[in-house]
Amino acid sequence: MRTIELKEVTALVRQLCMDANYYLPADLRQAFVDGEKTEQSPLGREIFGEMIANCDLARQNDMPVCQDTGMAIVFAEIGQDVHLVGGAFEDAVNEGVRQGYVDGFLRLSVVGDPLRRENTNDNTPAIIYTTIVPGDRVKITVAPKGFGSENMSAMKMFTPAASKENIINFIADACIGAGSNPCPPIVIGVGLGGTSDKAAYLAKRALLRPVGVQNADPLYAEMEQAILDKVNASGVGPQGLGGTVTALSCAVEPFGTHIAGLPCVVNISCHVTRHAEGSI
Ligand code: SF4
């Protein structure tokens, strides 16, 4: 059993909030470089160039890559041989988000109640998902999510009779119908199976998969490619101004489900699909 002080969790979350907002993952930047080469629209290519410059300026100056620094989504994998001491885990994570957003000069975008809508002025509460895993480490991933893209999420409870084509069309239609709202080129996360809530979790988690990496199962890899092809044939293009690169990547995460159902959730993410991870 390894003992970990929760103040270490707070310090890590604080740092990851800043890192995620300042430094885009290398695979995403590479997708911009590739997109600049393959995009057919001259304006689209220019936009890719702006996105690369923006990404590099943010990194060089420790500044947010986008003004919407998002709601903090925190995925924590906690080793079953870890003993956390010094308070409550969720409090420690929220304290890290509070410090990261305030000290990092990140926009405070969260209200404490969905109807009263008073800003909490520290970007809490975070959305926290914990998983118990083997080992004696704590791994934390912070994935800030802007709501231009989050608002474009879609869910459908298909019946088991739905064809692969029905599902591909639903996902592609959600992405194409979103138009310029999610600041394309987008990254598409899909949760398939489980229950409605499990599918929503899987769709969000799918966004952590490196850009361009396909599902190891050929059935789902083929589905991901079919969705990408449809979305990229739509003409929406970079920033919705027309072009051939509307989506950079699509990740489908399946899970076992009930004989009577087939839940499907699409979580669309923007061209700043941010995440940073660290371990204690
Ligand atoms: S959707 Fe993404 S790129 Fe667009 S404003 Fe929100 S965080 Fe920024």
Counting residues of the chain whose pLDDT is more than 70, the rounded percentage is 100
pLDDT for res 154? 98
Find the 125 Cα to ligand 1 centroid distance in Å. Answer: 20
CA separation for the pair 119, 117 (Å, rounded): 6
CA separation for the pair 161, 121 (Å, rounded): 47
pLDDT for res 58? 98
Side chain identity at 232, as an amino acid letter?
A: N
Strand runs labelled E in the chain:
2-5, 71-79, 82-85, 127-133, 138-145, 154-158, 186-194, 247-257, 262-269, 276-279
Q: pLDDT tens for residues 107-163?
A: 999 999 999 999 999 999 999 999 999 999 999 999 999 999 999 999 999 999 999
Closest CA to 160 of 190, 193, 208, 133: 193
Structure tokens given for 64: 């947010």
Beta bridge partners of 266: 154, 190
pLDDT for res 126? 98
Q: pLDDT tens for residues 187-200?
A: 999 999 999 999 99
CA separation for the pair 186, 175 (Å, rounded): 8
184 lines ligand 1 (CB under 6 A): no
Query: Which residue's CA lies nearest to atom 6 of ligand 1?
Result: 146
Counting residues of the chain whose pLDDT is more than 90, the rounded percentage is 100
- Average pLDDT over all residues of the chain: 98
Side chain identity at 167, as an amino acid letter?
A: I
Question: What pLDDT band is residue 82 in, cutting at 50, 70 and 90?
Answer: very high
Find the 271 Cα to ligand 1 centroid distance in Å. Answer: 8
Structure tokens given for 152: 């474009």
The 3-state DSSP class for residue 119 equals: strand
pLDDT for res 42? 97
Q: pLDDT tens for residues 239-271?
A: 999 999 999 999 999 999 999 999 999 999 999
Beta bridge partners of 142: 74, 276
Range 26-45 average pLDDT: 97
Q: pLDDT tens for residues 209-239?
A: 999 899 999 999 999 999 999 999 999 999 9
Structure tokens given for 214: 């396909």
CA separation for the pair 64, 15 (Å, rounded): 13
User: Are the CB atoms for 182 and 268 separated by under 8 Å?
Assistant: yes
Range 55-66 average pLDDT: 97
Structure tokens given for 59: 């990194």
Closest CA to 43 of 178, 245, 186: 245
pLDDT for res 211? 96
Query: Which residue's CA lies nearest to atom 7 of ligand 1?
Result: 146
Side chain identity at 85, as an amino acid letter?
A: V
203 lines ligand 1 (CB under 6 A): no
pLDDT for res 193? 98
191 lines ligand 1 (CB under 6 A): no
182 lines ligand 1 (CB under 6 A): yes
pLDDT for res 244? 98
66 lines ligand 1 (CB under 6 A): yes
